[in-house]
C-alpha cells in the first residue's frame, strides 16, 4: 500500500485517502471507504469554489479519526490564502463521518460553493488493484438530503448511504452547499456515510445478528485510553524503541476485530488494506507475539478459529477435518463462490500454529480452563498433522491444493507463486514439504504433549506425542540438512529431493527447537551473514539465489514478523548477541516509518541505500508487523514463563541503554522487567 495514504480504521472498517482527504481510486491507488470486504466509496472529492484543496498539516493522533488542515488551490509564500478548510474525519458507531469547516479570511464577504463528488464501484477488497468490470448493475437514488448508491447482483445487494442534516443540493453524483461568509466567519456541516449489506427484503443482514456495540467517538477515545493504560509501561533510553512500542499498541487497538459469531470478543485483523478480515496465520502469530501486553487477543483468536475449524472434506475450500482456516471473507466473490474464501483453508502452517498458541497462552496466563474448553479442537488439529498433513505417508507435513482452479499453490507463509524455489530458480513440483512446517509440527507435538499431561490428564497421549516429536526431529535433521551448504533445505520436492535455496525459513526452525544443537551455529552464521542479513533484518531469500529480488514479495524483502520469530529462535539457542543485532536493525528501520513497521520492506543492503526502502504494496498497519516490536522486546529482556514465575534474562545491545517494562501481566499477576545494556 502506498505509504503516503492517510488511514483511519476500526477493526475491518477503514478509510484510505490522499493527504488532502480525497479519494480517487484506481488500480494503482487503492484508496476508498471499506467495510465488510467491500469498497463502499471509490470517489470522495472535495472542492471549494471549483478548486481542489492542498494540505497544510495532518493531525492523526488517534487510529479512528484524523484532521486535515487545507487551503484552496496551491499554497504559495507570496499570496496569503483567503480561506482555510478543516476536514475532520472519523469512523464512529459504525459510520464514516466527515465534518467540514470553511473559514473566510478575506476582508470582504465571500460566496462559497462547496462540492463533494461521490461514487462507488463496490469492488471486493481483494480486487481493488484490478480493472474489474462489475457483474451486477449500479443504481443511484436521490432522497431529501440523502444520496443512495447501490449495487445489485441477483440477491446480492450493497448500498452506500450519504446523508447531511444541513440544507444541500443533492444530485446523483454528490452534494453541493452554497452560502455566504462575512470576514472571519465560519461555516460547518457534517456528512455521514453508512453502509448497507442488504437481504432481498431490504433488511441489513447484520442487524439480525447480535453484533458488538458500535462505539461513539468519545467511547473510542475512552477505550483507547483504557487500552494504553492497561498495557505494560515502557521506558527506554533509545527513544525509537519507546515510540515504536507506543505506535504498535495504538495500531493493535485499531486492528481489533469482533467477528459476527463472537461479538463480545476481539481478535486481530490482519491489516490494511488487503487483510482487514478474519485470518488464521496473521491472527495466531500476532496474538502469540503480543502475549506480554494483550493476552486476551489470543482467547478470541483461538475461539473463533476453533468455531470454524474444518469438519469435512471440501475440495473447493481446501477444507479437511481438523484444519484451521486461512481466511474468511464476506464480499461478492465469497457470495457467488468465485473464490473459496467463506471460509478458505488453504494453509498448511496454521493448524500446528493453533496448538502452539494455545499452549503458549496457557504457559503465560495459567488459564487452564481455556485449554480444556478447546481440548477437542487442539486434538483435532494434532490429528490433522498426521492424517491429512502427511500426504506422502512419510511423517512430514506436505501441502497440495485440492482446488486446482482457484486454490493457492503455495500453502506455507510464503504464498507467492515463486515463494519456494531451488537455488537455481526452478520451481519444485507438488506436493511440497517446507522446512518450517516440520518445525511447527514438532513444536505442536511437544506442546500438545505438555497440554495432555498437565491440563487434560492424558499422560499416555503425552508420551505418544513426545515419541512422535523425537522421531520427527531425528528424521528431519537427516533429510533436510544440506551438508555442503551447512544449512537446512527450504523444502523437499515430491521425489524427496532437497529444494536447496537458502532462505529465512531456517530461522523459524530455531524458534521451533527442531534444530540439532550441533548445527545451530552454522544456521546462525547464515542468518547473520551478508547473503541474508541486510543490516536492517534477515531477507526472505538469500542474495545470489536464482529468484532473489530485493523487491520481491517473498524472494528478498525483509518482513518484521519473520525477523521477530528468528530473533526469538536465536535467543532459544543461546545466541543472544545475534538476536540483539536483529532487534536493533528492525527497530532502527521503524524510525524511517514513523514507528509503524510495514508488512515488509525492500531487502537492499543497508550500506547501499542508507535507509530501508519501502515495499510499494505492503499492508500498513499490518498485524504481524505491529506485533513484531513487542516480541523483540520480549526477546531482548529474555522473558520466559516458568511455572508461576516470569524469568527475566536480558541481553541488550548498547544502543538500547536501559529498558524498563513495568506491569507485565501473566499468571504471576503483574511484574516488572528492568535491564541495562553492557
Task: Please write the tens of the pLDDT for every residue from 539-585.
Answer: 999 999 999 999 999 999 999 999 999 999 999 999 999 999 999 99
Over range 237-252, report the average pLDDT.
Answer: 97
Predicted confidence band at 208 (pLDDT cuts at 50, 70, 90)? low
Q: Decide which of 522 and 336 is more confident.
A: 522
- CA distances (Å), 424 to each of 504, 530, 547, 555, in order? 17, 19, 8, 13
Predicted confidence band at 216 (pLDDT cuts at 50, 70, 90)? confident
Identify which of 406, 401, 437, 434 has the alpha carbon closest to the alpha carbon of residue 419. 434
Mean pLDDT of the chain: 94
The Cβ-side half-sphere exposure at 530, using a 13 Å CA radius, reads: 3
Lowest mean pLDDT among 53-62, 451-460, 629-638: 53-62
| pLDDT value of residue 669 | 96
Q: Decide which of 212 and 97 is more confident.
A: 97
Predicted confidence band at 192 (pLDDT cuts at 50, 70, 90)? very high
Over range 156-160, report the average pLDDT.
Answer: 94
pLDDT higher than threshold 60 for residue 212: no
pLDDT higher than threshold 90 for residue 210: no
pLDDT higher than threshold 70 for residue 151: yes
Q: Decide which of 195 and 331 is more confident.
A: 195
Q: What share of the chain is helix, strand, coil (3-state, %, to 5)?
A: 30, 30, 40
pLDDT higher than threshold 90 for residue 32: yes
Identify which of 247, 275, 280, 261 has the alpha carbon closest to the alpha carbon of residue 34. 275
Question: What is the distance between the alpha carbons of residues 146 and 218, in angstroms, rounded to a whole number?
Answer: 26
pLDDT higher than threshold 70 for residue 3: no
- CA distances (Å), 429 to each of 473, 491, 494, in order? 24, 11, 6
10 Å CB burial of residue 123 (0-12, 13-18, 19+) is buried
| pLDDT value of residue 78 | 42
Identify which of 331, 613, 596, 634 has the alpha carbon closest to the alpha carbon of residue 511. 634
Under 8 Å between Cβ of 261 and 14: no
Over range 266-272, report the average pLDDT.
Answer: 89
pLDDT higher than threshold 70 for residue 140: yes
Residue 260 neighbours by CB under 8 Å, 6+ apart: 206, 209, 211
Question: What is the distance between the alpha carbons of residues 12 and 585, in angstroms, rounded to a whole number?
Answer: 31
pLDDT higher than threshold 60 for residue 49: yes
pLDDT higher than threshold 80 for residue 25: yes
User: DSSP of 21-76, one letter per residue?
Assistant: S-EE-BTTB--EEEETTEEEESEEEEEETTB-EEEEEEEEEETTEEEEEEEES---
| pLDDT value of residue 79 | 55
pLDDT higher than threshold 70 for residue 486: yes
| pLDDT value of residue 668 | 96
Lowest mean pLDDT among 206-210, 370-374, 661-665: 206-210
Over range 290-318, report the average pLDDT.
Answer: 97
Based on its alpha-carbon atoms, the radius of gyration of the chain, rounded to whole angstroms, reads: 26
- Could you write out the three-class secondary structure of 412-455? CCCCCCCCCCCCCCCCCCCCEEEHHHHHHHHHHHHHHHHHHHHC
Query: How does DSSP classify residue 400?
Result: -
pLDDT higher than threshold 90 for residue 109: yes
| pLDDT value of residue 74 | 79
pLDDT higher than threshold 60 for residue 529: yes
Over range 650-674, report the average pLDDT.
Answer: 97
pLDDT higher than threshold 50 for residue 296: yes
| pLDDT value of residue 333 | 87
Percentage of the chain modeled with pLDDT above 70: 97
**Residues 344/349/351/353 CA torsion (nearest 10 deg):** -130
Q: Decide which of 543 and 619 is more confident.
A: 543
Amino acid at each position: 500500500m502506498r505509504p503516503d495514504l492517510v488511514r483511519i480504521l476500526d477493526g475491518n472498517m477503514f478509510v484510505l485517502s490522499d493527504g488532502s482527504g480525497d479519494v480517487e481510486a484506481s488500480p494503482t491507488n487503492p484508496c476508498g471507504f471499506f467495510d465488510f470486504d467491500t469498497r463502499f466509496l471509490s470517489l470522495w472529492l472535495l472542492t471549494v469554489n471549483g478548486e481542489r484543496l492542498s494540505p497544510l498539516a495532518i493531525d492523526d493522533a488517534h487510529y479512528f479519526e484524523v484532521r486535515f488542515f487545507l487551503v484552496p488551490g496551491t499554497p504559495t509564500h507570496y499570496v496569503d490564502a483567503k480561506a482555510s478548510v478543516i476536514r475532520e474525519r472519523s469512523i464512529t458507531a459504525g459510520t464514516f463521518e466527515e465534518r467540514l469547516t470553511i473559514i473566510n479570511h478575506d476582508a470582504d464577504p465571500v460566496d462559497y460553493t462547496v462540492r463533494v463528488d461521490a461514487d462507488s464501484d463496490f469492488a471486493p477488497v481483494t480486487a481493488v488493484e484490478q480493472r474489474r468490470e462489475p457483474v451486477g448493475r449500479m443504481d443511484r437514488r436521490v432522497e431529501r438530503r440523502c444520496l443512495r448508491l447501490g449495487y445489485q447482483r441477483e440477491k446480492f445487494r450493497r448500498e452506500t448511504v450519504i446523508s447531511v442534516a444541513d440544507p444541500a443540493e443533492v444530485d446523483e453524483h454528490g452534494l453541493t452547499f452554497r452560502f455566504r461568509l462575512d470576514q472571519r466567519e465560519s461555516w460547518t456541516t457534517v456528512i455521514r456515510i453508512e453502509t448497507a449489506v442488504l437481504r432481498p427484503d431490504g433488511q441489513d443482514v447484520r442487524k439480525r445478528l447480535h453484533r458488538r456495540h458500535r462505539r461513539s467517538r468519545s467511547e473510542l477515545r475512552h477505550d483507547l485510553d483504557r487500552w494504553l493504560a492497561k498495557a505494560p509501561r515502557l521506558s527506554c533510553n533509545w527513544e525509537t524503541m519507546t515510540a515504536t512500542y507506543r505506535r504498535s499498541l495504538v495500531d493493535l487497538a485499531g486492528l481489533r476485530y469482533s467477528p459476527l459469531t463472537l461479538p463480545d470478543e476481539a481478535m486481530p485483523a490482519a491489516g490494511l488494506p488487503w487483510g482487514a478480515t478474519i485470518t488464521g496465520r496473521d491472527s495466531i502469530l500476532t496474538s502469540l507475539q503480543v502475549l506480554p501486553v494483550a493476552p486476551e487477543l489470543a482467547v478470541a483468536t483461538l475461539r473463533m478459529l476453533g468455531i470454524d475449524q474444518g469438519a469435512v472434506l471440501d475440495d473447493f475450500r481446501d477444507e479437511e477435518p481438523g484444519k484451521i482456516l486461512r481466511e474468511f471473507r464476506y464480499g461478492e466473490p465469497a457470495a457467488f463462490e468465485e473464490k473459496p474464501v467463506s471460509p478458505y483453508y488453504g494453509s498448511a502452517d496454521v493448524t500446528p500454529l493453533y496448538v502452539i498458541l494455545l499452549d503458549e497462552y496457557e504457559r503465560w496466563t495459567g488459564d487452564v480452563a481455556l485449554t480444556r474448553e478447546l481440548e477437542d479442537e487442539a486434538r483435532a488439529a494434532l490429528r490433522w498433522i498426521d492424517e491429512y498433513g502427511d500426504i506422502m505417508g512419510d511423517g512430514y507435513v506436505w501441502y497440495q491444493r485440492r482446488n486446482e482452479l482457484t486454490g493457492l499453490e503455495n500453502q506455507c507463509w510464503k504464498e507467492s507463486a515463486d515463494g519456494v524455489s531451488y537455488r537455481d530458480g526452478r520451481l519444485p513440483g507438488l506436493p511440497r514439504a517446507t522446512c518450517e512446517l516440520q518445525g511447527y509440527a514438532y513444536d505442536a507435538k511437544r506442546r500438545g504433549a505438555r497440554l495432555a499431561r498437565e491440563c487434560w490428564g492424558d499422560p499416555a497421549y503425552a508420551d505418544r506425542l513426545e515419541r512422535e516429536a523425537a522421531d520427527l526431529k531425528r528424521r528431519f535433521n537427516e533429510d533436510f540438512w544440506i551438508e555442503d551448504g551447512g544449512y537446512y533445505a527450504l523444502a523437499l520436492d515430491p521425489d524427496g529431493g532437497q529444494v536447496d535455496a537458502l532462505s529465512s525459513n531456517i530461522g523459524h526452525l530455531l524458534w521451533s527447537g527442531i534444530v540439532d544443537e550441533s548445527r545451530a551455529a552454522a544456521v546462525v552464521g547464515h542468518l547473520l551473514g551478508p547473503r541474508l542479513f541486510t543490516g536492517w533484518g534477515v531477507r526472505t531469500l538469500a542474495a545470489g539465489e536464482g529468484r532473489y529480488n530485493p523487491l520481491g514479495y517473498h524472494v528478498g524483502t525483509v518482513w518484521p514478523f519473520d525477523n521477530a520469530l528468528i530473533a526469538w529462535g536465536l535467543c532459544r539457542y543461546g545466541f543472544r548477541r545475534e538476536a540483539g543485532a536483529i532487534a536493533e536493525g528492525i527497530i532502527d528501520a521503524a524510525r524511517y516509518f514513523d514507528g509503524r513497521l510495514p508488512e515488509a520492506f525492500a531487502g537492499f543492503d543497508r550500506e547501499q541505500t542508507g535507509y530501508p526502502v519501502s515495499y510499494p504494496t505492503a499492508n500498513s498497519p499490518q498485524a504481524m508487523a505491529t506485533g513484531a516490536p513487542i516480541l523483540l522486546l520480549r526477546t531482548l529482556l529474555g522473558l520466559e514463563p516458568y511455572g508461576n514465575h516470569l524469568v527475566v534474562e536480558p541481553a541488550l545491545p548498547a544502543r538500547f541503554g536501559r529498558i524498563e517494562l513495568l506491569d507485565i501481566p501473566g499468571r504471576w499477576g503483574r511484574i516488572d522487567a528492568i535491564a541495562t545494556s553492557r
